Every structure is written in C-alpha cells, then in structure tokens.
Structure 1
Amino acid sequence: MIGSCQVRNSVTIPDVSVAATHKALKRQGGKWFYQNKPFSGTLVEHYTTGKVKSKSTYYQGEKHGVYKGWYAGGQRWFERTYIQGRKHGKQQIWWQNGQLKLTANIYNDMYEGSVKQWYFNGRLYRDFNYKKGKEEGHQRMWKTDGRIRANYVVKDGRQYGLTGVKNCKSVASK
C-alpha cells in the first residue's frame, strides 16, 4: 500500500462575490463565514475611492486559489496562491513603480527553492535558497549601491562565509 500527503487543490469555487465589509461576513476560528456558513466564493476588498484593493477566493471558509492585490493607483501589488488556507506555489510582490519586489516559491506555508527580493530601483537585494522553510545552499545579499553585503553557504543549518552581520562579542578572545 502506498500512502500520500498530497494537498487537494481541484475544487470548484462558486461564482459568488462578497464585499469584505458585508455585515453577514464574519471571521471565526481562522475561517470566514457568510450568513453563518463557511464562505465559498470571492471576497473583494475596496479602497474608499471604490477601486478594488484585493480579490481572494475561498472554499469552505479558507483561502483557496489566487489572491491578488492592487495599489490605490491600480498597479499590481501582490499575487499569491493558496490551497486550503496555506500559501502554496509562486508568490510575487511588486513595488508601486511596477518593479518586482519579491518572488518566491512557497509550499505548505514554507519557502522552497529560490527567494529573490529587489530594491525599489530594481537592483537585486537578496537571492536566498530554502529547503522546507529553512535557508539551505548559496545565500547572497547586496547593498543599495550594488556592493556585496553577504555571500555565504548554509549546509545542515550552519553558515559558511560572509554573513554580513557583526558579532556582538569579540571572537579574538576565544
């Protein structure tokens, strides 16, 4: 017999949209309820101007599917995927100027693989690697002017190389 812990992601989300401010919408025990039933549909949040701030799909009260957000000016802000209330898959965040701010792969709410972040001007800030939510492999960070801030490798939880942090205690006395 072969067992599996596969996450179920193929569900049908009803074609129902509810404003995030609707009085019949309540959050209880980490889940959303609409008219006293676990909510399945699209939750829409608006700015005071009426423009859409975010859209997220839910199934049985939990985020399930794509969650998108926009800045007040209409530019993309973020895009994340959820399965049964957990971040799962490619995640992206943008600065207001349209430049990428972060890209990451997340599985079961944990980073997996490459996580990259950029400064507002588009320069790379960090390029880290993760395995099951923990740093693993080559990690690099840069200062705003492009100079290297950190360049190290993580193996079995230990860091080797330039970590970019200052020691609080003198290492000369050891």
Structure 2
Amino acid sequence: MKSFFCFVLLLMLSFVSCKESSVIEPIVEKTIVINNFEVQKKDLVLNQIEGKWYYKNEPFNGFSVKHHPNGILSEKMGYLNGKREGVAKRWEPDGTLRIQSYYKQNRLVGSYKVWWQNGELAEESTYVDGALEGTQKMWYPNGILAKERQLSNGKEKGLQKAWLQNGKLYVNYEAKNGRIFGMRRANSCYQLEDEVVIRN
C-alpha cells in the first residue's frame, strides 16, 4: 500500500512538472554606463534637425557641466551618442540641489523632482516617454501640499485639486475627455449636481 501511494504521488508530481509555467517574466532594462568624460556645456553644439549634441564634430558621450559665477556646479547632464541620457541635476549658487530628472534618448522618463531653496520638496512628478503620467504633487516652501494633479500622456485626467497655504481647498474638479467637471477657485458654498452648479 505504501509503495502504491508513493507511485501515485510520483506520477502526480511528474504531471505537475510538465505543465507550462504562466508566470510573466519582468522585462529588465539594460544598465547604461555613460563615459565619465566632462566638458563645459557651452562647448557642445546642438544639431536641431537630428536632436543630437556634438563635441568636436562627434556625437557627445559623457557629461556636460555648467558652473555658477562663484564656481559652484550649476548643472550636470549625461549624454550617450549625442542624446541626453541618465540623471540630470541642477543646483542653486549655494550648492543646494534644485532639480533632479532622468532622460532616455532625449526624453524625460521616471522621477522628476524640484526642491525649494530651503531644501523642501517643491514638485514630484513622473514622466513616461517625455510626457507627464500619474500623480503630480506640488508643495509650498513650508512643506504644505499646494496642488495634486492626475495626468495621462501629459494631459489632465481625473481629479485635480489645489489648496491655499492655510490648507483650504480652493480648486476641485475632474478632467474627463478634455472637459472639466467641477469648480475652479471653488468656495464651499457651491456644489455640483449632475454637472449643474447649485448654490447652497
């Protein structure tokens, strides 16, 4: 009996192992390494027709840099085969990071962040193939949320909200198919009913 049970178990395991797997494999992008060669941005020449940056008549591979008059780095941007690639950063004259973004073949991709001079986050967005996508948030210099937008392919889609510095909601509408439903600069004494304004 014990041997029969083992045989059945072995048979079942062999059938299970032959079944095709339906697990979706994630696509892993190849890591791109940019040459650590730096030149002044003013030494690069943009060919606007090709959308490529050239250094000494060759598509540039490396990093362009700019400096503030006080010598502090103001900008550093990567290039691969003449196109902006990888991380791009900008700094204030005091060295405070101002903007951090990412490029892939001249198009903004991924996280885009902006900071106020006091170090507080000012904006956080996401780009997909050069267009804003998903939730975009903006803050006042004191860290209070100022705006929250929903975007799809660079256009407003969904709920859009904005607040005054005291935290009071003053913009609240929904963008749908290029139309706006709701109130811009809304006071709480108004409401929408079937897209018609009703005064309380």
* TM-score, scaled relative to structure 2: 0.73
Matched, 1:37 2:55: no
Query: Could you list the runs of 4 or more consecutive aligned residues of structure 1 that deviate by over 2 angstroms after TM superposition?
Result: 8-12, 155-158
Match in the other structure for 1:26: 45
Q: Offset at 1:64?
A: 0.5
Which of 162, 166, 170 is the aligned partner of 1:145?
166
Q: Could you say which residue in structure 1 is the equivalent of 2:67? A: 46
| Bigger Rg, which one | 2
Structure scoring higher RCO (CA < 8 A, sep ≥ 6) equals: 1
- 1:127 corresponds to which of 125, 145, 148: 148
Amino acid at match of 2:61: S
Per-residue CA deviation, residues 1-33 of structure 1 (Å, 9 max, x unaligned), is xxxxx9x774331121112233xx322223210
Instruction: Supply the AA of the counterpart residue of 1:51.
Output: I
Q: How many pairs align? A: 158
Aligned equivalent of 1:89: 110
Is the partner of 1:21 in helix, strand or coil? helix
Query: Larger deviation: 99-108 or 142-151?
Result: 142-151
CA distance in 1, matches of 2:118, 2:81: 36
Query: Any stretches of 5+ residues in structure 2 without a counterpart?
Result: 1-26, 187-196
Within 2, Cα distance between the matches of 1:12 and 1:154? 40
Secondary structure of 2:133's match?
A: strand
Higher strand proportion (structure 1 or 2): 1
In 2, the alpha carbon distance for the partners of 1:162 and 1:139 equals: 10
Q: Which runs of 5+ in 1 are unaligned?
A: 1-5, 166-170
1:107 aligns to what? 128
Q: Hey, what's the Cα distance between the residues in 2 that align with 1:31 and 1:45?
A: 18
Considering fraction of residues, name the structure with more helix. 2
